[in-house]
Structure 1
């Protein structure tokens, strides 16, 4: 799905603020294409600190800690294109449709996001036009180009999750999330169970759905692509070296899984 972006009376991003998309290795030779929608925690200057402390803006509520470092390692080792999003999901969640409430959350975990209270439709649309659609339109264009060239595409999105959520501990170290895909995801989960000592969650601690996700349903399932969302517990990837080690394991897992897909 591609949406044209119209000039909006509300200027979300100043002219000198970065485009929401950062693309890496766009000409990579791999069958894999990587997306990291919650890679960044940048806040447009228009919103200041969104009513939050600097500590809050470094928490998981603002971004997926460690996910970008894992994705970058995967991009290098797999020679795969990677598309990351630089703005915080508190401004707009690029893994939610613009018409759902969590697109601009008023509460994340136990924290009220005061800057998102009482948003009107004009403001929500302006955020979508400034951040969401430019990011996803670029991903759409890249996938369209691969399809036109007859290239095989296997879609992987990379995320992280907290070890404790609202006081409840999460035992999983990695989650393999999927909905309609019944090829790539089960194969990857089986590989991880057979070849690592990780506690692997199947659709844990989240699941993929049309109302709770965007990239997998739209970029993957609607195109009929093998697709999977990978979630890694963020206490295991908080440092760049730790994230790179996870990237190495996942690169091997994805390479060997791709071979099994035929």
Structure 2
């Protein structure tokens, strides 16, 4: 039983291992609301395809366990990377109860494809060394200690998922930590052909989202790395390539920085 990360949308961002798994599958259960159908063209003509967007957990597991009992090769295709908002633990738990072996093939999450498109470095020397993946609390709550305002207070880079409908809360929480005029990158459907990047601020977030018709599938990026891109700043040099800095593969060279 294989869980495969489909990546953020562009089929070319699927790993080689993920592509091979699809090519060999007898049954593919995919998240139809988010996964690009283009990658399903790699499957064999005889493959059975099941869209899980309208299913509940028990129905998904019935497909998986029944196919496994028949000796079929099953791929559970998740968007992005399965470890991030992928709800795989509950599925793996059921497989373990049935003593069915499983394996996870990782994928590229939207925060990384978005950073690639923007030329964004989340971890800038002497400015930020932490990236937080999170979401705002809405219909599905988050633990109290992980409230967005508390996380934003760290001043780290933030990649905020699943929060396009919660712009009022996001605006207030980010303004309190970064300021109402801090730059935000709103990335709609990262890596898809219709990808859109909108620059915003905590003070204008709700207006900018509405003005561009962004209602879902929007990744909200904030923090020092986003500010560096927005303002065209290069930031401090890293020690890795600083000539005055020695490490295990290179002695210090005179005239560091030259």
TM-score by length of 2: 0.28
Structure number with higher relative contact order (C-alpha < 8 Å, ≥ 6 residues apart):
1
TM-score by length of 1: 0.28
Larger-gyration structure (1/2) = 2
